[in-house]
Structure 1
Amino acid sequence: MEYHVAKTGSNQGKGTKQDPFLTINKAASIATAGDIVTVHEGVYREWVNPRCKGLSNKRRITYRAAEGEKVVIKGSEQIKTWQHVEGKVWKVVLPNSFFGDYNPYEKELFGDWLVVDETRHLGDVYLNGMSFYEVSSFNKLINPVMRTEILDHWTQKIVPIHNQEQTKYVWFAEVDADNTTIYANFQDADPNKELVEINVRRSCFYPKETGIDYITVRGFEMAQAATPWAPPTADQPGLIGANWSKGWIIENNVIHDAKCSAISLGKEASTGNNYCSLRKDKPGYQYQLEAVFSAERNGWSKEKIGSHIIRNNTIYDCGQNGIVGHLGCIFSEIHHNHIYNIALKREFYGYEIAGIKFHAAIDVHIHHNRIHDCSLGLWSDWETQGTRISKNLFYNNNRDLFVEISHGPYIVDHNILASEHSLDNASQGGAYINNLICGKMVQWKGLDRSTQYHLPHSTKIAGFSFVYGGDDRFYNNIFIGKDSLENVGTSHYKNYTTSLEEYIEKVHEKDGDLEVFVLVEQPVYINSNAYFNGAEAFERENCNLVDESFNPNFCIIDKGEEVYLSCELPESFESILGEIKCTKNLPKVRIVDAEFESPDGSNLALDTDFLDAKKAEKSSLGPISLLKKGKNYIKVW
């Protein structure tokens, strides 16, 4: 059955093309497995709450924008009744009933691992699509100070505000027993003559019940949802999301202006909901451990959860994440998405922010994404196991990639990491193959948090371990330094062992048990890498190319829809080739005792490059086989 929705329709209609429904929710209340909901052009201000689930990949429920028509779903309402107060400040008074049971101007931003300088709320004000900044008092509305820079809490560096002019546009709200009064400084604009919108709904497309499986959402623009802070120890709603379900496909959408997270593949509240912040009796780390066990008791498995596909979406201007997920992201595929301007507004901060932020990304494949101008590009945290991060383009981020407190095996291959801070590695068991790495690399151990690892390709818990550092593999990468940068390359593995046999021998030279395993550095497997312009090599790397004085003049050229890589490589570049890495020639990881293999357990070969070209048995280093000595100018998006 195909149902139609149009702005000319009626919810008393039949839902046919000739007699369409008025709202998407009307169709969502009756669509069942195998049905299609086609939505025609217009702006739909509603929270779409699918009631029924699909039954399999062949019997999905598909929600789609009509071909060639622009369909927008918004979590906001347009306001045309602003009253002038003084100067450039206006106000609107709305009854609390206007917001139903979710008032974003009353609800505070709250949760585990959140950092705020002063109270923030979930609401926002938009002038012709531009979001405002919240201030804490009416007096701060009159003469707002344009901010030019702010402290990055993670790196402790002063960084510029993304859109400095935007910081002059500010709002403040007061909520009493009956009314919500919103004040805003519109500068020289008349809000009753422009498009002014305010947040009203938490989500745009999100089932209120869990277990709504096999849903496809295709071709919409979705924006302006008052989503809450979404740490891994809480319910994690997004502007759009699967809400603890299986088999969603979210594709070909434009998604922007989520207060916190845009797409959610995360967990739900029954396994814990900000207990660290509420109870204050245990650290968030402890509650996160408990959430994993609670989820497993409640049926967290490949059979019930995950296996989502997120592809070909454009995601931007969100406060916390472009895509978020703890536990619910397992066995998913995230590819060909364009993600940018995430967490750059900097009204709030916290330790759960990134273009993509996953916990327990078991057998998740993240590939062919363009991620730039984010506070952090991709953060794979806890239980990064069977995860493959491949053929992604990172640039102009404060940091590109962070892999935290995981034991592997995980693969990072054929990526371009072009920001000045390329990699934070607080894990072990990684294989970094054929990447182009142009920025700082920081590696550290995690000896204060013993975390879970799993049976291969399963959510079943196999054991616990600290992160000892090492047990990493670096093959066929190109490292390019920069005058002002330190720690580019693999030299930070100095004094690490280079084989499991050597490690075992050194461990058993001493008497004891746990303590001697901590004293000896785990093996690292590093070979056939190139180092330029001050990048430094691991001292025990047998075969490499080191030219510290050669400057490749590397840059990423962003032309909007297209992106190009430009660099120059020395004559010696073609003197070193790298073999194709695969299951057979990548040493297994120590703690998990598992191989680098495909999710189905078959052998894995990294035999295609960033551009998906088939590689020769011996090919050039880096992510792109076309790279050669001399000047290179290659389209990478």
Structure 2
Amino acid sequence: MQIYVDAQAKLGGNGTKQAPFKRIQEAASIAHPGDLVMVMPGVYRESVNPCYSGSKDKPILYQAVKQGLTVISGAEQVNEWEKIDVDVWRVVIPNQRFGEYNPYTTHVQEAGDYQHTGEVFLNNRALYEVDSLEKVKTPTSKNPERQYVWYTRQDPKMDTTTIYANFQGKDPNSTNVELTFRETCFYPQRPRVNFLVLSGFTLTKAASQWADGKYNRAIIGTNHAQGWKIVNCNISHAKCAGISLGRYPTLPAEEELNAHPVKHYIKNNRIFDCGQVGVIGVDGNPSPVIEHNHFFRINTRFNLIGETVSAINLFPAIGAQILRNCIHDCTRGIWLGGRVEKTRISRNLMYNNTLPGKFRLTNKNQAQLLAHLGEDIQIENSFGITTIDNNFLLSDCALRLESYDILLAHNLINGRLAWQSNNLAAASGDNPLYHRIIHQDRSTSLTSYFYNNLFVQKKLRLEVRKLIRQQDDWYHEGLVQEVAKNDFFITEDNHLTRLTANKGGNSFIGNGNRPINLTVENRRQGFFLKSDLQEFLSEDSCHLLTMVNQHNRLQVDTDFAGRHREGHRVTPGPLDSKTEYSACLFSAMA
């Protein structure tokens, strides 16, 4: 059955094409397996609660008729502002207007006493919350962007929420000012609503809390479900998480976890301007396919701090596939931990994910900047090899591998690498045979493997180098002392301090006087690498690699562009032909 929804329709429709529903929730209350919910362009200010599961062969499809033009918003426009000072405005909202959830009395976990889940937006730009009316009247930041501020207080006697805001001379009643009212945009209140497809929507401005093992709401939340597909959507301006893959009510036993619930597919989405994380899975569906998404500006406002801050965060990740994504200008790109097994990170373009933008390190901001010092990829607790292959890792801090059992193959690494290995398990001397079969046997092997990678020297920003030095001091005082007989190795501008013999075919370039420039340009056609790398790169100098992992064979024989590497001699790095470095690396279309 096809069910129609149109924001311009009159109330009282029956969901037919001739008399569509006015709200998406009306369709979500009756949609059953195999139904198609067709939603016309418009702004739908509601939180959709899908009531019924689809099935594996008959999912329920929620489809925007015109991609990107159907908006589900957790915010409301507010044009009832009263001017009380030169640049200060006030609005008083009866608390009953918020219903059961008031974002301006709900605090974000792990984010300080005054941080609320609610936000104030001026023309789709979030203002910064401060902790006093005085700071609204006289913003303390010298950064012009951070002078757009707001403050909230409650009046228990009148049962109202008052919000004060500084719009820097703009009249909020004659421009687009919105306040977040709703906790989610698309979230089933009942757990395990399985096999839904969400396609083509813009979902924005949800006032959700800090996503973790106890709380799984976001702009889109699956609430313990399986088998969702989220495709071709724009997901933005979450206070905390863009997509939460939910979690189990209780963490399953190991045999149940290994059985893998039905995967979620997250493909061809734009996920940006989220405060905590783009996609998160905590104690939940551990094996999503996250493919060909564009992540940017995740946590770059620096108002939230925590270990889960990143574009993609999975805890655990068992059989997860993170493929062909573009991740840039985030505090951190990918973080995997808890238990990471049979997971692959392949063919991703990642850059500018270490404290993006310019900043000045001071004694006052040092602790905050150190807390936000992230990498393109950070891995903890890998069991039974995690594969990182054919990626462009171009941020100042490219990799932090706080784990064994990592296969790092055919990546271009133009940033700092920090990794952990076990010297006693490493073979002595250099092994010229790069084509080898690795048998994963935890009784005899406890190490990581580096093959056919292309390391390009980068001179790190001075302020980043200072922070890295402090981060390493903290690390060596903590974890390394707790792990017996293990060493933690780092690189400075891609000069390896030490590399064990479990390696082969790696190429190090840029050590001469002439620097190699690597810059990603975002053009109309897509993302391109501006570089003179081809002049320095030697082709056909490495061997293909085969890995055997618990009776499953993995061939690392396809390059970043999806082309099969012919023969047994190949080129180090993510592309098998030097000429491919001038081609488009990522485009908006799959």
Q: What is the distance in 1 between the residues matched to 2:28 and 2:214?
A: 27
| 8 Å CA contact 1:302, 1:330 repeated in 2 | no
2:191 aligned partner: 210
2:47 aligned partner: 47
* 1:101–1:65 distance in 2 versus 1, CA, 3 Å: same
Q: Could you report, residue by residue, the CA deviation over 1:201-220 in whole angstroms, capped at 9, with x for unpaired residues?
A: 00000111111000000001
Q: What is the distance in 2 between the residues matched to 1:79 and 1:115?
A: 26
| 2:102 maps to 1:122 | no
Moved over 6 A (4+): none
Q: What is the distance in 2 between the residues matched to 1:206 and 1:108?
A: 20
| 2:547 maps to 1:568 | no
Q: What is the distance in 2 between the residues matched to 1:325 and 1:208?
A: 18
1:13 aligned partner: 13
2:131 aligned partner: 136
| 8 Å CA contact 1:400, 1:417 repeated in 2 | yes
- 1:128: how far off? 1.0
Counting only pairs closer than 5 Å after superposition, residues 398-477 of structure 1 correspond to structure 2 as 398=354, 399-444=375-420, 471-477=447-453
| 8 Å CA contact 1:265, 1:306 repeated in 2 | no
Q: What is the distance in 2 between the residues matched to 1:313 and 1:543?
A: 35
1:635 aligned partner: 584
1:623 aligned partner: 574
Counting only pairs closer than 5 Å after superposition, residues 231-242 of structure 1 correspond to structure 2 as 231=212, 233-242=213-222
Q: What is the distance in 2 between the residues matched to 1:166 and 1:193?
A: 20
3-state secondary structure, aligned to 2:84: strand
- 1:11: how far off? 4.8
Counting only pairs closer than 5 Å after superposition, residues 442-521 of structure 1 correspond to structure 2 as 442-444=418-420, 471-484=447-460, 520=485
Q: Structure 1 length normalisation: TM-score?
A: 0.77
* 1:355–1:570 distance in 2 versus 1, CA, 3 Å: closer
Q: What is the distance in 1 between the residues matched to 2:218 and 2:163?
A: 24
2:246 aligned partner: 266
Q: Could you report, residue by residue, the CA deviation over 1:351-382 in whole angstroms, capped at 9, with x for unpaired residues?
A: 11000111111101000000000000111112
| 2:31 maps to 1:36 | no
* 1:61–1:418 distance in 2 versus 1, CA, 3 Å: same
1:279 aligned partner: none
3-state secondary structure, aligned to 2:165: strand
| 8 Å CA contact 1:483, 1:534 repeated in 2 | no
| 8 Å CA contact 1:424, 1:441 repeated in 2 | yes
1:512 aligned partner: none
Identity of matched residues, %:
34
Counting only pairs closer than 5 Å after superposition, residues 10-159 of structure 1 correspond to structure 2 as 10-56=10-56, 58-67=57-66, 70-110=69-109, 114-116=110-112, 118-147=113-142
Q: What is the distance in 2 between the residues matched to 1:523 and 1:191?
A: 54
| 2:329 maps to 1:334 | no
Q: What is the distance in 1 between the residues matched to 2:507 and 2:526?
A: 31
Q: Which runs of 5+ in 2 are unaligned?
A: 355-374, 423-441, 467-481
Q: What is the distance in 2 between the residues matched to 1:13 and 1:49?
A: 19
Q: What is the distance in 2 between the residues matched to 1:91 and 1:298?
A: 56
Q: What is the distance in 2 between the residues matched to 1:257 and 1:93?
A: 24
* 1:429–1:33 distance in 2 versus 1, CA, 3 Å: same
| 2:131 maps to 1:174 | no
Q: Could you report, residue by residue, the CA deviation over 1:145-195 in whole angstroms, capped at 9, with x for unpaired residues?
A: 235xxxxxxxxxxxxxxxx43211111111233111111111111111011
| 8 Å CA contact 2:39, 2:62 repeated in 1 | yes
- 1:539: how far off? 6.2
* 1:193–1:426 distance in 2 versus 1, CA, 3 Å: same
- 1:583: how far off? 2.8
Question: Superposition RMSD on alpha carbons, in Å?
Answer: 2.9
Q: Structure 2 length normalisation: TM-score?
A: 0.82
| 8 Å CA contact 1:367, 1:391 repeated in 2 | yes
Select 1:256's aligned residue among 216, 221, 236: 236
1:186 aligned partner: 167
| 8 Å CA contact 1:80, 1:196 repeated in 2 | yes
| 8 Å CA contact 1:329, 1:364 repeated in 2 | no
| 8 Å CA contact 2:286, 2:315 repeated in 1 | no
* 1:115–1:443 distance in 2 versus 1, CA, 3 Å: farther
Counting only pairs closer than 5 Å after superposition, residues 290-439 of structure 1 correspond to structure 2 as 292=251, 295-296=252-253, 302=259, 305-398=261-354, 399-439=375-415
2:560 aligned partner: 610
The one-letter code of the counterpart of 1:419 is S
3-state secondary structure, aligned to 1:141: helix
Q: What is the distance in 1 between the residues matched to 2:46 and 2:458?
A: 49
* 1:43–1:543 distance in 2 versus 1, CA, 3 Å: closer
| 8 Å CA contact 1:210, 1:243 repeated in 2 | yes
3-state secondary structure, aligned to 1:604: strand
* 1:545–1:33 distance in 2 versus 1, CA, 3 Å: closer
- 1:605: how far off? 1.2
3-state secondary structure, aligned to 1:50: coil
1:197 aligned partner: 178
Q: What is the distance in 1 between the residues matched to 2:206 and 2:488?
A: 47
Q: Could you report, residue by residue, the CA deviation over 1:365-417 in whole angstroms, capped at 9, with x for unpaired residues?
A: 00000000000011111211010000000001112110012323210000000
The one-letter code of the counterpart of 1:581 is L
